[in-house]
Amino acid sequence: MQGEFTASDTNFTANLITINNNPVATGSSFNKETGKLLKDNIILLDKNKSEDLSNLIKGNDWSVAFLETKPVMQHPYPPFITSTLQQEGIRKLNLNATQVMSVAQKLYENGFITYMRTDSINLSSEALNACRTEIKKRYGDEYLPDSPRIYKTKAKNAQEAHEAIRPSGSTFKHPDELTGQVNDLELKLYKLIWKRTMACQMKSAKLENTTMHISDNEHVFESKGKVITFDGFLKAYVESKDYKENDADDKENVLPNLNKGDSTTCNTLLPKQHFTKPIHRYTEASLVKELEKLGIGRPSTYASIMKKIIDKGYVNREGKSTLIPTFTGYAIVNFLEKYFDDLVNLKYTAQMEDNLDSIADGVLHKTEYLKQVYFGKDEQGLKDKLDQEFDKNISRTILSITENDKIIDVKIGRYGIYAQLGDKRVTIDESLPPSEFDIDIVNKQLADKLKGDKEVGIHPETKEPIYLKNGKFGIYLNCEKKNKGLLPGMTEEDITPEIASRLITLPQSIGDFEGDNIMVDNGKFGPYIRCGKLTRSVPKDKNLLELSEEEAITLLKSDPSVVKKFKGSDIVVKKGRFNRGDYIQLGKVNVSIPKGVSSEDISLEEAEELINQKSQKK
């Protein structure tokens, strides 16, 4: 239950924490495995109890029963290493790990930052001097500590051949000095690196954390406040959070200036239903952080690991960077854990690093180590694991669901994921998260399959029936030996006898252009028009069945390489040839679109900036 109180003309919120000295249940009051309360004296308020209680106590006399203010020092974050740069690039710039490293590579190649593949948080004396000079110049003496901050890497297997990622040189270029020399994304990433480097050598922030209890002698509400008395390093850089419920480090919550015993007024009491939440899914940023924590991979491999698991279909990216495991991912993990359990042990990489260090120190002989890995010693070696017999049926099974004495197996096959009940099979959409899969989905698909084909119309010429069928790639129309897919966005409910007959009779002529018939059709890659040797895709906002001759001629006259035009400008975005990336064109000036920037999302201002940069270099 949350209450809104007023004191000294200031409103503030507080949460009910105890009733007669017994704690009120929160998300952490439950056993994660059983869902039961951890202690017998914990009070669980449901919706009805909360509403009754709020009506009963709102008008009571409330006062400050407890007040504590503690000064706190928050120290700066260390300078960037590869993993933290990727995490912040993902959070702040909405890039993925590969894109962050690609942009950083450009900055490094042009001499603006130091080497970007490192797990050392150490800064050279040259960097420390440059940093302190810049802090004094940009922020003033009050933000400069008496001596440089020295950071030491805690990771056991850190490779410290390079220093932390920072602006290069003995004097740091301010981000404003790079305007016109780098593109927009490069400038944004450089700003992150410059600010983080500044922040790591600035004074700590000073905070005051306040805890205040409001009570009527029976019910206690708690409110927590935070005030920044000196911003310190937070003036230069504030680290982003992976999840919305975590407040940023510079967010304040100001409570009224009260003393113990002061009266307050309760304005409202709001019963708030709260459900305990499962742990968060990994984002790319949090997964990189976890890989680093577990010692899996090296700075140079984090980005390629992210790319590989997405490209292989082991996970799907949802939203900006949330990673959802797929059925294929589950199948791979099940197989590896059954037959190669030691290789997928989370400590395997760290243990190997320890052994390689022992080899480098002369404690362990490299030949003996390789023999042990391949042939085994006290346990099975890699050779025996590769030579073992694999049970293909078990390996194909991802999970089994039992209901009413029926067993449904979800398996991976040569052509994708499918569910099997006895001798019946149905294809499972691979984009469906395994967490959302249930037996109802299988039952529905099996029922649809048992229904057989649905007659939806008659062919206008042959008078043969047109059937609606459900195949591996979705719903389609069939008439004798001819098949036609539905138009983009169409569902089974959209198919009328008229639409069915029009789709099954494609391709159709809708006019002529320069002596050739204009034919419209729905093909493997979607709706398109053909006229002689010319073909054009039909835009998503056009309905193929309603396309007029004039609209088709306009499409035929258009340049198919143009991806985007800007109103009131001659600048266009064009599609690159031979698998090259899209590019911006103004007259004879062509500029490649930076990696990580969508050609459809690029703005006119960004395009003009890239054109100007290219023109200046000429």
Contacts of 32 (CB under 8 A, 6+ apart): none
Strand-pair partners of 474: 471
Structure tokens at 45: 């308020």
Structure tokens at 294: 């577990």
Residue for token pair 């390093």: 233
- The Cα 155–Cα 293 span in angstroms is 8
- The Cα 280–Cα 286 span in angstroms is 10
- The Cα 199–Cα 120 span in angstroms is 17
Structure tokens at 442: 């299988």
Q: Decide if 484 contacts 473 (C-beta within 8 A).
A: no
Peptide bond into 594 cis (omega under 30): no
Q: Decide if 467 contacts 478 (C-beta within 8 A).
A: yes
Q: Which of 298, 271, 237 is nearest to 101 (CA)?
A: 298
Strand-pair partners of 411: 397, 418
In this structure, which amino acid lies at residue 575? Answer: K
115 is a catalytic site residue: yes
Of the CA atoms within 13 Å of residue 564, those in its CB half-sphere come to 14
- The Cα 438–Cα 345 span in angstroms is 29
Sign of CA dihedral 94, 98, 101, 107: negative
Strand-pair partners of 189: none
Residue for token pair 């017999």: 389
Q: What pairing do the DSSP bridges indicate for beta strands 465-471 and 219-230? A: unpaired
Catalytic residue among 77, 108, 115, 583: 115
- Angular region, 499: left φ>0, alpha ψ -120 to 50, beta rest: alpha
Computed on alpha carbons and rounded to an integer, the radius of gyration of the chain in Å comes to: 32
Active site residue ranges = 115
